[in-house]
Amino acid sequence: MLKHLVRVRVRVRAIAIAISSSPKISSQLPIPSTFTFAFSLSSSTMAATDDSLRKSLADKHAAVEAQGNTVRALKAAGAPKTEIDAAIEALNALKLEKTSIERSLIGGSDTREAFRQAVVNTLERRLFYIPSFKIYRGVAGLFDYGPPGCAVKSNVLSFWRQHFVLEENMLEVDCPCVTPEVVLKASGHVDKFTDLMVKDEKTGTCYRADHLLKDFCNEKLQRDLALSSDKVSELKHVLATLDDLSAEELGAKIKEYEIVAPETKNALSAPYPFNLMFQTSIGPSGLSPGFMRPETAQGIFVNFKDLYYYNGNKLPFAAAQIGQAFRNEISPRQGLLRVREFTLAEIEHFVDPQDKSHPKYDEVADLEFFMFPREQQMSGESAKKIPLRDAVSKGIVNNETLGYFIGRVYLFLTRLGIDKDRLRFRQHLANEMAHYAADCWDAEIECSYGWIECVGIADRSAYDLRAHTDKSGVPLVAQEKFSEPKEVEKLVITPVKKELGLAFKGNQRMVVEALEAMPEKEALDMKAALESKGEVEFEVCTLGKNVTIKKTMVTIQKEIKKEHQRVFTPSVIEPSFGIGRIIYCLFEHTFYTRPSKAGDEQLNVFRFPPLVAPIKCTVFPLVQNQKYEEVAKLISKSLTAAGISHKIDTTGTSIGKRYARTDELGVPFAITVDSTSSVTIRERDSKDQVRVDVEKAAIVVKEVTEGHRTWEDVWSTLPHHSSTSADD
């Protein structure tokens, strides 16, 4: 949360927002059309500000105590009334200053919640999205997109396909949502895709344990003004290390802080793991277990061999998939940010592990945006702008291909309408990364809930293909053919099948395959351990456990061999997009209010770029008039032929109210028919209007919405239209 981000230009001590059925927030303060909500600071700056305020509060509290003692001493000594009154006046002034500091400490979260409620109320009232099965009181974590929400989502996905699949020549696939257990066993999801859960010991209601601890710490930090500096540091340390806590450590903290069930205040059980996948069975016999997929990536990995062949047996190449994923969240919350069914758009870019350069890297290398490397996180610094070229050349970002996709993700998000000043790329800390990963970054977007991970960009090394190779027995590999044979020193791993059979019996094959698939470094480490100790522990991922390998069970040695090709397992660079999260952050980043002309109400506006706006244009006859309505229908036909989504409104409602209704849907342009020969085109945010001939109206709107012209260009070349009543 970047330190220059605080842009709230109006001090709001307390906001009570009531959303009526009309497009207004009746009690919100008047704000200009350029007003932007950005509440949060960078983690280090916010901590510094919070610490400074708490120190000021402690100092002021001590001053109030001291002045109170002075007043009491004066009264006890029978001092003159004027002297006592002056001391009381000074005491009251100190109390006011203390109250002001207390409000500063707690006011930020109240403002964020009020803004969020205004956005969510508008989204639900205008049917962008609503809780699913609402007439049956809904189900937590499930939402329906209404007409404008569907249109926004469709536009985001269309742009994703254009920006990535088409421009990068990716291979798009569409795989089933139901996945056999064996696939997810190989990927590790069956054993490890868990969160820690606690239960209300009386009602059985379930909660995610880390969320309860996180909420407790945040609530204390925001609301408890009497916390000592040591306690503040302790709570912040808990928040920073939350992901590292084991079930036992998490349970100990819950007991230490006396955290109870939020609704009933009952005691909680000890934390225990809960697998987040929805389980099912495939076929009527129930003998083939399966799961609803928790991600779309596995469908791409298991199809690697066919995709590689389709691509002419050439690397690098990328496969992409858009689809539904399912996670049985313990306690869904935060609206679209944490749900049980959601849309993912994932890319698996397969590359030679010995060459992670990218031919188009220079196209993005000069981009500069906020990055948050792990060193800055560990030292308590904030994110800062870093040129992508510097980040890659200095090794902050592991390789060019990873850097290229970070740059492309930045362009995608900012072109959608995400505020570049509330977007950062945070590198995973060492304790967050899987052991096989080379480097991982998250594109995090700031909204009223804080920083939200919306895109993960990871170099997953060769783990996934190796895991499926081990489990299936099908080699998911690539080849590099040499122009001439090469003599190479090659590590040869030779399992002694007789010894392994005696030791592991029916599991022999899986142990053999795991030994043969060992990376060179791991094999050399095993060789050294066997020579020094005679045996070594070895993880067989297909068995899900460690086994003991003895010196007699395997030989590992280097040999000189003549080879005509190099066979290797490709590495994978994976950008994974949470579409619902991106859309919700887009809703917040584009929402603002502005006063009506009369100044008696606040009108809601979504400033969607034309690229993602649910409707590109509206057509309004100025008044109910048969000739005007015929012109409106003619323009509507032209817009349809041009492929421009639009809405025609021939109701008798005033033009100002019709403008307000469509502004609240984020419609960027409105055509108003006020004659039979020419019409006006109004731009949403500036409210400027130009006049254009009827037959040219659709052409102008098409050019601007598709990015061939800017509104500034239209404004500078077409006659202006002014109306004193249009926006009343």
Task: Give the burial class of 13: count Cβ atoms within 10 A of its Cβ; 0-12 exposed, 13-18 middle, 19 or more buried.
Answer: exposed
Task: Name which residue leads in pLDDT, 111 or 356.
Answer: 356
For the domain with range 194-275, which CATH number is right: 3.40.50.10420, 3.60.40.10, 3.30.40.230, 3.40.50.300?
A: 3.30.40.230
Predicted model pTM: 0.78
Give which of 704, 639, 719 is closest to 668, Cα–Cα.
704
Over range 488-499, report the average pLDDT. Answer: 88
Query: What distance in Å separates the CA atoms of residue 583 and residue 430, rounded to the nearest whole number?
Result: 29
Annotate 339-367 with DSSP letters as a single string: -SEEEEEEEEEEE-TT----TTGGGTTT-
> Which range in 311-325, 434-448, 547-561 is most confidently predicted, on average pLDDT?
311-325
Among residues of the chain, what percentage have pLDDT more than 70?
Answer: 90
- What is the architecture, at CATH level 2, of domain 478-566? 2-Layer Sandwich (3.30)
**Whole-angstrom distance, CA of residue 60 vs CA of residue 56:** 6
C-alpha span between 444 and 465 (Å, rounded)? 28
The mean pLDDT value for 696-714 works out to 94
Reply yes or no on whether the pLDDT at 101 is more than 80: no
Higher pLDDT, 532 or 722: 532
DSSP code of residue 685: T
- Evaluate if residue 184 carries a pLDDT over 90: yes
Place of tokens 């993005």: 364
CA Rg value for the chain: 31
pLDDT of residue 31: 33
Output the six-digit token pair for 549: 């390998």
pLDDT at 484: 86
| Cβ proximity of 342 and 142 under 8 Å | no
The class that CATH gives domain 127-178+295-477+569-597 is: alpha beta
Tell me the H-state helices in 77-228.
81-125, 147-160, 181-187, 189-192, 209-223
CA atoms within 13 A on the CB side of 465: 26
How many whole angstroms from its chain centre is CA 148? 21
Q: Which pLDDT belongs to residue 35?
A: 40
* CB of 557 closer than 8 Å to CB of 530: no
Report the alpha-carbon distance of residue 101 to residue 718 in Å, rounded.
53
Contact present, 545 and 524 (Cβ < 8 Å) = no
Whether pLDDT at 102 is above 80 = no
Hey, which of 181-185, 256-260, 277-281, 580-584 has the most confident mean pLDDT? Answer: 580-584
Burial 111-129, CB ≥16 within 10 A → b, else e: bbebbbbbbbbbbbbbebb
Read off φ and ψ for residue 293, nearest 5 degrees: -60, 135
How much of the chain, in percent, has pLDDT values that exceed 90? 60
pLDDT at res. 109: 64
Looking at the DSSP assignment, which residues form a beta bridge with residue 595?
Answer: 602
Check pLDDT > 60 for residue 6.
no
**Spatial CB neighbours of 78, under 8 Å, sequence gap ≥ 6:** none
Instruction: Compare 561 and 244 and report the one with higher pLDDT.
Output: 561
User: Which band of pLDDT confidence, cut at 50, 70 and 90, is reported for residue 112?
Assistant: confident
**Contact between 369 and 385 (Cβ < 8 Å):** yes
Q: What pLDDT sits at residue 122? A: 95
| Residue among 321, 313, 411, 429 nearest 364 (CA) | 411
Mean pLDDT score of the chain: 87
| Full DSSP string of 477-540 | -EEEEEEEEEEEEEEEEEE-HHHHHHHHGGGHHHHHHHHHT--HHHHHHHHHHHHHHSEEEEEE
Residue 211: is its pLDDT beyond 70?
yes
554: phi then psi, degrees, rounded to nearest 5: -155, 145
State the pLDDT at residue 52: 66
Of residues 722 and 55, more confidently modeled = 722
Greater pLDDT, 227 or 22 = 227
Q: What pLDDT is recorded for position 556?
A: 92
Return the pLDDT at 45. Answer: 44
Confidence at 20, pLDDT banded by 50, 70, 90: very low
Number of Cβ within a 10 Å radius of residue 667: 25
> For residue 517, is pLDDT > 90?
no
Quick one: which of 271, 273, 225, 268 has its CA closest to 102?
225
My answer on whether omega of the bond before 316 falls inside 30° of 0, hence cis, is yes
Closest listed residue to residue 593, CA positions, set 147, 1, 12, 151: 12
* Sole residue written with tokens 């606040």: 602
In this predicted structure, the answer to whether residue 17 has a pLDDT above a threshold of 60 is: no
pLDDT at residue 40, rounded to an integer: 39
- Count of other CB atoms within 10 angstroms of residue 451: 20
Strand pairing of 669-673 and 617-621?
Answer: parallel
The pLDDT tens digits for 651-682 are: 878 888 999 999 999 999 999 999 999 999 99
Closest-CA residue to 321 (of 144, 164, 181, 468): 164
In 596-652 the beta strands, taken as DSSP E runs, fall at: 602-606, 617-621, 646-648
pLDDT digits (tens, 9 = 90+) for 394-433: 999 999 999 999 999 999 999 999 999 999 999 998 878 7
| Per-residue pLDDT band at 245 (split at 50, 70, 90) | confident
Which CATH code, of 3.40.47.10, 3.40.50.1820, 3.30.470.10, 3.40.50.800, is assigned to 615-716? 3.40.50.800
Q: Identify the pLDDT of residue 5.
A: 31
Predicted pLDDT at 104: 62
